[in-house]
């Protein structure tokens, strides 16, 4: 478009920055990190003259594909098992995206490098792009997929569903608390650099295998912006590393951000990829294999480890522990089983697993059937109403889990559950690292050091507590997960839309006992009862089995 070179153009726009002479810009966000002014270069040298037409061209491709999908009747080949999980994913993801846009100003006053501010402003508008293009994809699904329920209520349901609440950390963590912890370490260094690989590359590949080529179209277009964001994070990280006083905070924040991303993203994306697919070719990669490639090799070994020489303390132990959770402790399988246990409290349909699925799981994860096979057979058996309750209220040797107060995924790997009394409340945590996050990291002092800008974990963090003592029918009605006949539930534990008798209604739930909050019950126990309960709980599992 222009005869001027990008390098010259980028150099010229650096003249736009100016040091205030009369008044300082407002400082809304604090950090405990310290930065010295440094001439750190914006590595991507993006100028808006080329940026806007480039993004417009990317849009042409995305919207052209969208038209093509509709004209070509893509939805005649889409697997319902897959699209149903998109009701959850696409209700979550627009908020993290827009939150990333909102996060950029947290860096302006704290990272004293105007050249980086340009990159951050472009990231801001990239994120507006991502959020709205993803909302648009969901709208297209709602209009063209057989079952719009759950898409049509998406943003209400995302906000009051416990799965949506888990996912919301992947948004609120970007925009609050210590500005660098949130907008740099949690957002760009870990979430974008590590976990968008599974979110925006691995998952779309699975979508394509399930007949949906629109998800890859949109998300690969999104991912093509991420390299810019990764560079923003990298430049800020190098500036932070230049001051030794930041190293302790960097170590803390990498540990928190890594672990929280692992708990949240691996739970959700692992479930979508492993339990949302119909592609059971033995040579297709499992989530564990993808994780090993995208996260362990590409991020950990190629990106993080080389930073060690600059003084960054890498959480090697937590990366190995995350792998241990995925490979040895069945983290993804435990989460998928829990989502299916609680199908009635969600807003999408969950397809039972078949013999073909069982065979694939056993091939990819040897020992899977002994752990989870029986439970999924029960899920299948109990999937249509026939005088019994939903599986959560039936005797299938599944102990309803406690919530992790920090990551809000339940304490599913039973042996790892720990407890702590904080502010007069007994809290449960899925792992020691989540206890550390709440009790030690998110505090105004850390290892004796004042950290007055560190954020807080707030909110009503156990969903079950809100509905303690409620009838399940009232719970589902309160959340609004009911179809337009006023009684049929949005969620179903099967994909059969042919026979109304096979669809669960509020009337079926009315017969169940009340919902009980594990945390309320825990806090009603005496100290001795609580200790005994904990000892029993950590002997339970796998697959949620009661302790023998």
Partner 1 sequence: MTTATERSVPKPVFTDAEAGAKEFPDSTARRFNYFTPQKRKQTHYEDVTVEVQPDPRHYLAQGWLYGFADGRGGYPLDWTALKAWGSDRPEPERGPGTGGQGYEWPAHGWHEFRDPNEEWELSLYRYNANVVRQVNQNVDAARQAKAFEQWNPNWVRFVQQHIGAWMHVDHGLGLYLFANANRRGPTNMHNTAIAVNSMHLIRAAQDLALYQLTLSEEIEGFDGTAHLETWNADPAWQGVRETAERLTGIDDWGEAVFAANVVFQPLVGELFRSQLVMQAAPRNGDFVTPTIVGAEEYDFAERDLRYTRALYELLTSDREFADHNKRTLNAWLAEWAGTSIGAARAMQPLWSQPDHKPLRFEDALDRVKSRFAGIVTDLGLDIPKELER
- For β-strands 445-446 and 425-429, DSSP reports them as unpaired
Residue 117 touching partner 1 (CB under 8 A): yes
Q: Which of 359, 465, 538, 545: binder of partner 1 (CB under 8 A)?
A: 465
User: Looking only at residues 120 through 139 of this chain, which bind partner 1 when binding is defined by CB under 8 A?
Assistant: 120-121, 124-125, 128-133, 135-136, 139
Q: Which of 500, 510, 511, 546: binder of partner 1 (CB under 8 A)?
A: 500
Q: H/E element holding 422?
A: strand 418-422
* Short-list 264, 326, 260, CA closest to 293: 326
Residue 541 touching partner 1 (CB under 8 A): no
Q: Choose the stretch contacting partner 1; rule: CB under 8 A; options: 119-127, 301-309, 325-333, 414-422.
A: 119-127
Residue 466 touching partner 1 (CB under 8 A): yes
Q: H/E element holding 430?
A: none
User: Looking only at residues 401 through 430 of this chain, which bind partner 1 when binding is defined by CB under 8 A?
Assistant: 408
Alpha-carbon radius of gyration of the chain: 24
Q: What angle do CA 266, 268, 274 make, to 5 degrees?
A: 85
Residue 144 touching partner 1 (CB under 8 A): yes
Least distance to partner 1, CB of residue 213, Å: 11
The angle that helices 331-341 and 374-381 make with each other, rounded to 10 degrees, is 20
Which CB atom, from 125 or from 439, has the smaller least distance to partner 1? 125
Which residue carries 């849009």 as its tokens?
Answer: 59
Residue 478 touching partner 1 (CB under 8 A): yes
> Do 428 and 520 touch, CB atoms closer than 8 A?
no
Query: Which tokens go with 362?
Result: 């056993």
Residue 111 touching partner 1 (CB under 8 A): no
Contact map string, positions 181 to 220, toward partner 1, x by CB under 8 A? -x-------------------------xxxx---------
Q: Which of 66, 113, 154, 261: binder of partner 1 (CB under 8 A)?
A: 154
The span from the CA of 461 to the CA of 463, in Å, is: 6
Residue 168 touching partner 1 (CB under 8 A): yes
> Do 389 and 512 touch, CB atoms closer than 8 A?
yes
Residue 176 touching partner 1 (CB under 8 A): yes
Name residues whose C-beta falls within 8 Å of residue 8's C-beta, 6 or more positions apart in sequence: none
* Short-list 57, 50, 58, CA closest to 13: 50
Which DSSP category does 307 fall into?
A: G
Query: Which tokens go with 406?
Result: 């920090």
Least distance to partner 1, CB of residue 519, Å: 9
Residue 18 touching partner 1 (CB under 8 A): yes
Residue 145 touching partner 1 (CB under 8 A): yes
Q: What angle do CA 152, 155, 157 make, to 5 degrees?
A: 85
Residue 444 touching partner 1 (CB under 8 A): yes
Name residues whose C-beta falls within 8 Å of residue 535's C-beta, 6 or more positions apart in sequence: none
Least distance to partner 1, CB of residue 307, Å: 26
Residue 471 touching partner 1 (CB under 8 A): no
Question: Which burial class, exposed, middle or buried, applies to 304 when counting CB atoms under 10 A from its CB (0-12, 13-18, 19+)?
Answer: buried
Name residues whose C-beta falls within 8 Å of residue 539's C-beta, 6 or more positions apart in sequence: 414, 415, 547, 548
Residue 463 touching partner 1 (CB under 8 A): yes
Q: For the chain, how far is it from start to end, CA to CA, in angstroms?
A: 72
Residue 108 touching partner 1 (CB under 8 A): yes
Q: How many CA atoms lie within 13 A of 73 on its CB side?
A: 2
Residue 445 touching partner 1 (CB under 8 A): no
Q: Which of 7, 21, 36, 423: binder of partner 1 (CB under 8 A)?
A: 21
Which CB atom, from 203 or from 457, has the smaller least distance to partner 1? 457
Least distance to partner 1, CB of residue 164, Å: 9
User: Looking only at residues 31 through 90 of this chain, which bind partner 1 when binding is defined by CB under 8 A?
Assistant: 47-49, 52-53, 55-56, 59, 63, 73, 75-80, 83
Q: Choose the stretch contacting partner 1; rule: CB under 8 A; options: 157-165, 249-257, 333-341, 357-365.
A: 157-165
Least distance to partner 1, CB of residue 74, Å: 8
Least distance to partner 1, CB of residue 380, Å: 20
Helix (H, G, I), strand (E, B) or coil at 445: strand
Contact map string, positions 269 to 288, toward partner 1, x by CB under 8 A? ---------xx-x-xx----
User: Looking only at residues 286 through 345 of this chain, which bind partner 1 when binding is defined by CB under 8 A?
Assistant: none
Which CB atom, from 163 or from 230, has the smaller least distance to partner 1? 163
Q: Which of 41, 156, 364, 381: binder of partner 1 (CB under 8 A)?
A: 156
Q: Choose the stretch contacting partner 1; rule: CB under 8 A; options: 15-23, 33-41, 349-357, 417-425.
A: 15-23
Q: Which of 61, 64, 67, 155: binder of partner 1 (CB under 8 A)?
A: 155
Which DSSP category does 369 fall into?
A: I
Residue 512 touching partner 1 (CB under 8 A): no
Residue 16 touching partner 1 (CB under 8 A): yes
Name residues whose C-beta falls within 8 Å of residue 287's C-beta, 6 or more positions apart in sequence: 198, 202, 266, 269, 270, 273, 274, 326, 332
Residue 227 touching partner 1 (CB under 8 A): no
**In degrees to the nearest 10, what's the CA dihedral of 265, 228, 189, 106?**
-100
Which CB atom, from 8 or from 37, has the smaller least distance to partner 1? 8
Q: Choose the stretch contacting partner 1; rule: CB under 8 A; options: 93-101, 227-235, 263-271, 333-341.
A: 93-101
Least distance to partner 1, CB of residue 1, Å: 6
* Short-list 89, 137, 120, 124, CA closest to 239: 120
Q: Which of 149, 319, 344, 473: binder of partner 1 (CB under 8 A)?
A: 149
Which CB atom, from 149 or from 340, has the smaller least distance to partner 1? 149
Instruction: Name the phi and psi angles at 484, rounded to 5.
Output: -75, 0
Please report, for residues 152, 153, 332, 519, the alpha-carbon distance to residue 483 in angstroms, rounded to integers and kept in the order given: 10, 10, 30, 31
Helical H runs in 72-113? 80-92, 94-103, 105-108
Residue 95 touching partner 1 (CB under 8 A): yes
């Amino acid at each position: 478009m222009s005869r001027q070179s990008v390098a010259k153009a980028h150099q010229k726009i650096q003249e736009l920055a100016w040091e205030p002479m009369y008044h300082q810009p407002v400082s809304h966000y604090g950090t405990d990190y310290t930065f010295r002014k440094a001439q750190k270069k914006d590595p991507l040298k993006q100028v808006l003259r080329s940026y806007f037409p480039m993004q417009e061209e990317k849009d042409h491709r995305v919207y052209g594909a969208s038209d093509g999908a509709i004209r070509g009747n893509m939805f005649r080949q889409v697997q319902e098992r897959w699209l149903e999980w998109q009701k959850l994913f696409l209700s979550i993801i627009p908020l993290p995206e827009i939150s990333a846009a909102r996060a950029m100003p947290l860096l302006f006053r704290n990272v004293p490098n105007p050249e980086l501010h340009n990159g951050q402003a472009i990231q801001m508008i990239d994120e507006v792009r991502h959020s709205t293009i993803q909302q648009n994809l969901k709208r297209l699904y709602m209009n063209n997929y057989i079952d719009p329920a759950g898409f049509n209520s998406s943003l209400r349901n995302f906000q009051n569903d416990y799965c949506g609440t888990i996912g919301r950390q992947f948004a609120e963590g970007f925009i609050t608390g210590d500005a660098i912890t949130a907008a740099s370490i949690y957002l760009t260094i870990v979430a974008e650099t590590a976990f968008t690989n599974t979110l925006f590359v691995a998952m779309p590949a699975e979508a394509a295998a399930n007949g949906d080529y629109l998800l890859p179209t949109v998300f690969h277009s999104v991912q093509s912006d991420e390299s810019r964001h990764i560079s923003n994070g990298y430049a800020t990280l190098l500036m932070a590393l230049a001051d030794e006083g930041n190293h302790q905070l960097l170590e803390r924040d990498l540990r928190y951000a890594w672990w929280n991303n692992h708990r949240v993203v691996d739970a959700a994306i692992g479930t979508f990829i492993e339990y949302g697919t119909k592609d059971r070719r033995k040579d297709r990669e499992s989530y564990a294999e993808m994780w090993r490639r995208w996260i362990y090799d590409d991020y950990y070994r190629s990106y993080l480890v080389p930073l060690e020489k600059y003084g960054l303390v890498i959480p090697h132990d937590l990366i190995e522990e995350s792998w241990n959770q995925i490979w040895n402790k069945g983290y993804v399988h435990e989460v998928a089983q829990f989502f299916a246990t609680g199908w009635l409290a969600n807003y999408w349909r969950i397809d039972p697993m078949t013999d073909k699925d069982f065979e694939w799981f056993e091939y990819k994860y040897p020992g899977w059937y002994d752990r989870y096979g029986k439970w999924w057979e029960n899920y299948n058996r109990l999937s249509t109403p026939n005088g019994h309750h939903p599986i959560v209220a039936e005797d299938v040797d599944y102990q309803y889990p406690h919530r992790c107060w920090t990551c809000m995924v339940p304490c599913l790997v039973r042996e790892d559950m720990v407890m702590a009394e904080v502010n007069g409340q007994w809290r449960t945590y899925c792992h020691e690292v989540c206890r550390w996050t709440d009790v030690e990291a998110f505090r105004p002092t850390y290892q004796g050091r004042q950290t007055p800008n560190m954020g807080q974990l707030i909110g009503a963090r156990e969903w079950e507590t809100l509905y303690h003592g409620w009838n399940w029918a009232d719970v589902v009605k309160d959340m609004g997960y009911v179809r337009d006949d006023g009684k049929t539930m949005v969620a179903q534990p099967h994909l059969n839309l042919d026979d109304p008798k096979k669809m669960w209604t509020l009337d079926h739930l009315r017969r169940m006992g009340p919902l009980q909050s594990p945390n309320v019950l825990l806090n009603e126990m005496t100290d001795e009862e609580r200790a005994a309960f904990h000892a029993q709980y950590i002997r339970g599992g796998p697959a949620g089995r009661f302790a023998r």
